[in-house]
């Protein structure tokens, strides 16, 4: 192992053969793409047939040419095609994004301009500054469909996915994976394109399967990438913040909510913070990374937006009494990150009209239910903390969140290693630095035991001897487990929490690299301000992608001492921008994403995408015409990955008052849970009861297995003692008082049940007491009344008009 650490990883990028610059030529019958590696000494040739009007025919020349040989080949092609116009230069490009077909010909998507945005140990990361879509067949063989109205509309729709915004790639570094995975996994070739973070997997599938390689394509990651140079105590280092957005269940705010049947959640984003020494190339470098995750609450829920309601009601659209989809989601997290999984839930604990609290109670029930079947050491660790409530008080929110981050890091650890230059290495691609963690990843049997930042996995214990012999080589550390943060949108509040985690993690990283004697960074440290700005930029970027506006950054603005009126004005306009985007633009944006990802593939004789409700296309054939009778309603709710599940097909299982049925036997481990087939999720109809949720509790430690964190007051964290139910859970709630006679959640839920209207729990659960349209905003029964109201300006509900006139802010 020690020798593996010493052979390594930095200078080898230039020694690995990959193509990164291309020249495209055309004749009447073919495209010829010439690909060159970085040093321009070797060339490869790709030929694309232009005489086939509706099929893609791609051939790769297996010969490797020198530059002079390639020039001679092009000259001979030109001579042989003089009668039809010869060989013509088309464009320089930097990789193929993919191929796509609508109703007529195939199109080729190319990167024609790129920009360097960072480098990880010598491996350059690029963004796209210009792209081009080129039809494959020449004009003489194109069918009439090539210029049809629908064809042009599909092309225009695809172009709304702006490749020049927030997409990034690298030729020599697998930017779709975390640093730890890149250094510990020997996965090669097309396997990288199967990653949930490669957005052009569908677009490149045809050419990859045909050629059996990925030389000509680039793997695009969507999200955020920013690299900066910082310093501490006069020593400089580089920090890269990467956010990778999942392509599974991808979409916009109100059209993608919750979880689907495969356990994939909306707005699923992996955030990685990488820092490494700023040293010259060919010198040893210390490098560290920390990964965290955000994602929608993994339940079946939705919101039906309306142009008349800026804050739609939350509906539990489908209940799964055994929480199978929720369990699949956490099994996937364990497979990706190991154990433990620490869940930080930031949604509200009290509301006059229950919205977020409905999900809060149900999410807690789901975690309790799942934890009942898990051994104590593998249980999900669940933390409630109402960030909205504490941000309205004179509370140091970031300091409290920092305590949570410290605890999480002590459980999961960070990744750290020292890499050495090697002229024979293939760079960070070869995965030779660290042995791969093996084993059966599942909730019941995680492959890596819980540990803390000071512990090392048993797999690297044998490296200690080598490290002792060479004091310049430090023993590596590994991260096992992840902190998963959510609020409702997983945008504004979540980003604040992720910054707090990132700041604590940076202290641990700097300490591991020897930059600091203590692993803590004070909030007043200039580094904290620098990091805040980076996380704020990331939050704005992710919020624009999913929510349609920049993030609400009230806490960041207050921390910097920004003028309160300026902050309120900024928040106001961002709220309006998000409302407008959700109400008027998200439907088309969702359509474009579905086409880009291949969730919808146009076919002649079938309904066009704009004639269907969102995601109906995958089930329209199977379910028949009934599904599209009310096509193109204003809101296009989606409850699955390319599969709209009708409300009346999904009875709501509402027995959350107790566990009437035991958890079923284990279904064969994580392989079963992570299969591509949709699992059968049983549901049942029953009366709604919120009677059992959270009783009183004594003052306890942060978590029972951590000695150093004690609970002192209401702003600290209390352990939830819940009798038998909580003896199989790891629950925390910073809001609960240890001296309270009754839980605030019980109080809340008792009051809530009378005020719940049918839209809150889906069409299948009937509640006697209904709420008026003015109170409910987007009530299923009140929509028509609100829409026909004449006494309010523009037909808007009184609540919205009052909000606009009074200037009160709505924070999410």
pLDDT tens profile 353-389: 888 999 999 999 999 999 999 999 899 999 999 988 8
Asked whether residue 680 is domain-assigned, the answer is no
Do 119 and 145 touch, CB atoms closer than 8 A? no
The residues, any chain, with a CB within 8 Å of residue 517's CB and separated by 6 or more, are 511
> Do 153 and 125 reside in the same domain of the chain?
yes
> Do 294 and 343 reside in the same domain of the chain?
yes
CA distance 204 to 391: 46
For residue 645, pLDDT over 60 is answered with no
pLDDT of residue 723: 33
Where helices occur in 160-296 by DSSP H, the ranges are: 179-184, 201-211
> Do 352 and 235 reside in the same domain of the chain?
yes
Q: What angle do CA 110, 111, 114 make, to 5 degrees?
A: 175
In this structure, the strands spanning 314-318 and 300-303 are antiparallel
CA distance 619 to 649: 13
Confidence of residue 144 (pLDDT cuts 50, 70, 90): confident
Partnered with residue 302 across adjacent β-strands are 315
pLDDT of residue 567: 67
Confidence of residue 187 (pLDDT cuts 50, 70, 90): low
Confidence of residue 685 (pLDDT cuts 50, 70, 90): very low
Of the candidates 598, 614, 630, which is a domain's last residue? 614
Which domain, by its residues, includes 297?
228-421+473-614
CA distance 328 to 338: 14
> Do 22 and 72 reside in the same domain of the chain?
yes
Which of 248-252, 420-424, 453-457, 651-655 has maximum average pLDDT? 248-252
For residue 534, pLDDT over 90 is answered with yes
Q: What is the mean pLDDT of the chain?
A: 73
CA distance 120 to 476: 18
DSSP run (H or E) holding 760: helix 758-761
Partnered with residue 419 across adjacent β-strands are 285
Cα-Cα end-to-end distance for the chain: 49
Asked whether residue 52 is domain-assigned, the answer is yes
Closest CA to 581 of 609, 616, 543: 543
> Exposed, middle or buried: residue 372 (CB in 10 Å: 0-12, 13-18, 19+)?
middle
Asked whether residue 768 is domain-assigned, the answer is no
**CA torsion, points 65, 71, 77, 82, in degrees to nearest 10?**
180
Closest CA to 122 of 265, 267, 280, 241: 280
Would you call the peptide bond into 493 cis, given omega within 30 degrees of 0 as the criterion? no
Closest CA to 344 of 399, 369, 381, 388: 381
> Of residues 524 and 554, which shows the higher confidence score?
524
Q: State pLDDT tens for residues 60-82.
A: 999 999 999 999 999 999 999 99
The residues, any chain, with a CB within 8 Å of residue 411's CB and separated by 6 or more, are 340, 342, 381, 450, 451, 452, 481
Confidence of residue 642 (pLDDT cuts 50, 70, 90): very low
Asked whether residue 576 is domain-assigned, the answer is yes
For residue 45, pLDDT over 60 is answered with yes
Do 290 and 778 touch, CB atoms closer than 8 A? no
The widest CA-to-CA distance across the chain, in whole angstroms, is 93
Of the candidates 614, 648, 666, which is a domain's last residue? 614
Determine phi and psi for 806, rounding to 5 degrees: -85, -20
Closest CA to 397 of 346, 361, 341, 342: 346
pLDDT of residue 80: 94
Asked whether residue 463 is domain-assigned, the answer is no
Asked whether residue 501 is domain-assigned, the answer is yes
Neighbours of 581 (CB within 10 A): 17
> Of residues 455 and 240, which shows the higher confidence score?
240
> Do 143 and 281 reside in the same domain of the chain?
no
Partnered with residue 59 across adjacent β-strands are 47
Asked whether residue 490 is domain-assigned, the answer is yes
Three-state secondary-structure class, residue 126:
strand
> Exposed, middle or buried: residue 318 (CB in 10 Å: 0-12, 13-18, 19+)?
buried
> Do 200 and 304 reside in the same domain of the chain?
no
Would you call the peptide bond into 340 cis, given omega within 30 degrees of 0 as the criterion? yes
Asked whether residue 699 is domain-assigned, the answer is no
CA distance 133 to 653: 48
pLDDT of residue 804: 41
Average pLDDT over residues 554-577: 70
Q: State pLDDT tens for residues 721-731.
A: 333 333 344 56
CA distance 528 to 376: 36
Name the least confident of 424-433, 495-504, 578-587, 625-634.
Answer: 625-634
> Exposed, middle or buried: residue 18 (CB in 10 Å: 0-12, 13-18, 19+)?
middle
> Exposed, middle or buried: residue 754 (CB in 10 Å: 0-12, 13-18, 19+)?
exposed
> Do 194 and 305 reside in the same domain of the chain?
no
Do 709 and 411 touch, CB atoms closer than 8 A? no
Confidence of residue 394 (pLDDT cuts 50, 70, 90): low
pLDDT of residue 472: 58
* Total domain count, the chain: 2
> Do 232 and 207 reside in the same domain of the chain?
no
> Do 384 and 528 reside in the same domain of the chain?
yes
> Of residues 651 and 174, which shows the higher confidence score?
174
Do 634 and 193 touch, CB atoms closer than 8 A? no
> Do 501 and 373 reside in the same domain of the chain?
yes
Of the candidates 189, 219, 249, which is a domain's last residue? 219
Confidence of residue 237 (pLDDT cuts 50, 70, 90): very high
pLDDT of residue 504: 97
> Do 120 and 43 reside in the same domain of the chain?
yes
| pTM recorded for the entire structure | 0.74
Name the least confident of 281-285, 300-304, 331-335, 621-625.
Answer: 621-625
Confidence of residue 407 (pLDDT cuts 50, 70, 90): very high
Name the least confident of 260-274, 277-291, 502-516, 762-776.
Answer: 762-776
> Do 311 and 362 reside in the same domain of the chain?
yes
């Amino acid at each position: 192992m020690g020798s593996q650490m010493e052979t390594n990883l930095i200078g080898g990028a230039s020694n690995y053969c990959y193509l990164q610059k291309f020249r495209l030529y055309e004749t009447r019958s073919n495209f010829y793409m010439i690909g060159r590696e970085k040093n321009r000494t070797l060339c490869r040739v790709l030929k694309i047939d232009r005489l086939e009007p509706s099929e893609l025919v791609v051939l790769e020349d297996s010969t490797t040419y020198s530059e002079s040989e390639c020039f001679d080949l092009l000259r001979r092609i030109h001579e042989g095609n003089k009668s039809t116009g010869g060989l013509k230069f088309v464009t320089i490009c930097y990789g193929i994004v993919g191929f796509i077909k609508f109703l007529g010909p195939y199109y080729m998507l190319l990167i024609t301009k790129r920009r360097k945005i960072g480098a990880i140990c010598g491996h350059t990361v690029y963004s796209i500054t210009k792209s081009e879509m080129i039809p494959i067949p020449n004009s003489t063989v194109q069918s009439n469909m090539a210029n049809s109205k629908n064809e042009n509309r599909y092309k225009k729709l695809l172009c709304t996915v702006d490749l020049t915004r927030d997409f990034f790639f690298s030729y020599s570094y697998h930017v779709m994976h975390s640093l730890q995975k890149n250094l510990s996994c020997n996965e090669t070739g097309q396997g990288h394109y199967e990653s949930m973070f490669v957005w052009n997997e569908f677009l490149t599938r045809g050419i990859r399967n045909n050629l059996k390689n990925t030389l000509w394509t680039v793997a695009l990651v969507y999200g955020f990438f920013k690299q900066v140079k910082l310093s501490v105590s006069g020593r400089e280092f580089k920090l890269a913040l990467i956010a990778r957005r999942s392509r599974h269940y991808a979409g916009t705010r109100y059209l993608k909510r919750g979880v689907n049947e495969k356990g994939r959640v909306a707005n699923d984003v992996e955030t990685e913070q990488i820092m490494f020494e700023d040293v010259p190339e060919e010198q040893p470098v210390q490098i560290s990374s920390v990964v965290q995750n955000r994602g929608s609450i993994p339940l079946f829920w939705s919101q039906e937006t309306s142009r008349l309601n800026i804050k739609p009601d939350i509906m539990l659209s489908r209940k799964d009494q055994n929480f199978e989809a929720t369990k699949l989601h956490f099994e996937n997290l364990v497979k990706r990150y190991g154990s433990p999984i620490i869940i930080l839930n930031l949604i509200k604990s009290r509301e006059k009209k229950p919205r977020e609290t409905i999900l809060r109670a149900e999410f807690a029930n789901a975690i309790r239910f799942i934890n009942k079947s898990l051994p104590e050491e593998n249980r999900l660790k669940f933390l409630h903390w109402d960030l909205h409530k504490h941000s309205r008080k004179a509370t140091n929110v970031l300091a409290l969140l920092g305590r949570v981050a410290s605890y999480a890091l002590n459980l999961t650890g960070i990744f750290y290693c020292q890499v050495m230059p090697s002229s024979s290495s293939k760079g960070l691609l070869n995965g030779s630095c660290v042995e791969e963690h093996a084993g059966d990843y599942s909730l019941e049997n995680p492959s890596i035991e819980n540990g803390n930042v000071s512990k090392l996995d048993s797999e690297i214990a044998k490296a200690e001897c080598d490290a002792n012999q060479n004091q310049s080589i430090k023993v590596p550390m590994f991260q096992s487990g992840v902190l998963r943060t959510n609020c409702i949108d997983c945008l504004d509040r979540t980003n604040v929490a992720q910054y707090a985690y990132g700041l604590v993690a940076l202290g641990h990283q700097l300490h591991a690299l020897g930059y600091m004697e203590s692993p803590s960074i004070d909030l007043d440290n200039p580094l904290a301000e620098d990091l805040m700005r980076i996380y704020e930029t990331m939050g704005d970027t992710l919020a624009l992608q999913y929510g349609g506006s920049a993030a609400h950054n009230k806490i960041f603005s207050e921390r910097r001492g920004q003028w309160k009126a300026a902050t309120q004005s900024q928040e106001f306009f961002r709220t309006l921008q998000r409302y407008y985007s959700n109400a008027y633009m998200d439907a088309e944006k969702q359509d474009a994403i579905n086409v880009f990802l291949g969730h919808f593939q146009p076919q002649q004789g079938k309904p066009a995408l704009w004639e269907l409700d969102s995601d109906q296309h995958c089930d329209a054939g199977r379910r028949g015409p009934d599904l599209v009778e009310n096509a193109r309603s204003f809101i296009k709710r989606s409850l699955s990955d390319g599969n709209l599940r009708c409300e009346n097909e999904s009875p709501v299982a509402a027995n959350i008052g107790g566990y009437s049925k035991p958890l079923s036997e284990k279904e064969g481990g994580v392989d079963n849970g992570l299969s591509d087939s949709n699992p059968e999720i049983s549901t049942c109809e029953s009366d709604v009861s919120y009677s059992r949720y959270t009783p009183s509790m004594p003052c306890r430690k942060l978590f029972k297995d951590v000695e150093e964190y004690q609970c002192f007051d209401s702003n600290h964290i209390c352990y939830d003692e819940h009798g038998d139910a909580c003896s199989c859970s790891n629950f925390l709630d910073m809001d609960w008082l240890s001296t309270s006679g009754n839980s605030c959640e019980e109080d809340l839920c008792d009051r809530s049940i009378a005020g719940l209207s049918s839209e809150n729990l889906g069409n299948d659960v009937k509640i006697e007491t209904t709420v008026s349209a003015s109170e409910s905003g987007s009530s299923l029964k009140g929509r028509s009344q609100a829409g026909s109201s004449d006494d309010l300006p523009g037909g808007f509900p009184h609540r919205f008009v009052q909000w606009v006139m009074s200037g009160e802010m709505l924070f999410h």
